[in-house]
Structures are given as C-alpha cells and as structure tokens.
Amino acid sequence: MIDIKLATPGIRVAYIPGHAHGKINHLDVEHGTVSSNNGKNVFVKFDKAVSRLGWEGVTSQSCCPEDLVLL
C-alpha cells in the first residue's frame, strides 16, 4: 500500500492484485508509472501497454492505493 500523497507523476509502482496475496514476484504483478491521482485513486500507465503504444497512446488505469507498492 502506498500513501496517496506519495503517488505523484513519474513515481514507479507495482500493482499487486488481491489474488497475489502481497507477493511482488507473482506472475500477475504489473509495473508502471504514476501519471496522476485524484486524492482517492492513483492513475497508472503500465509498462506493457507503454512499450506497445507509447506514453501518449496509453490510457491510465485507475488503481486503489492499497494495491500499489513503490518501486
């Protein structure tokens, strides 16, 4: 879990889905970069999508801060 105040644009994060039970090495963990936050959710552009479409071509995904860890 990250503090929403630390989720500023450019910060690297890992999204850990609930079924991964906090294991950062789980196959479904995704790495990405924070693009913004609205005080409740953090918006992340994930590396896999950015590598295919470029930063401007990717739509940020809304994530709960509870599912993110700082890298």
Domain boundaries, the chain: 4-70
CATH number of 4-70: 2.30.30
Q: Is 42 exposed, middle or buried (0-12, 13-18, 19+ CB in 10 A)?
A: buried
What is the pTM for the complete model shown? 0.93
Helix and strand counts by DSSP (H, E) for the chain: 1, 5
Distances (CA, A) of 19 to 22, 24, 46, 56: 8, 11, 19, 30
Two structure tokens written together for 35: 């693009």
Report the run of H or E that residue 15 belongs to, with start and end.
strand 12-15
Q: What is the pLDDT of residues 15-64, one digit of tens each?
A: 999 999 999 999 999 999 999 999 999 999 999 999 999 999 999 999 99
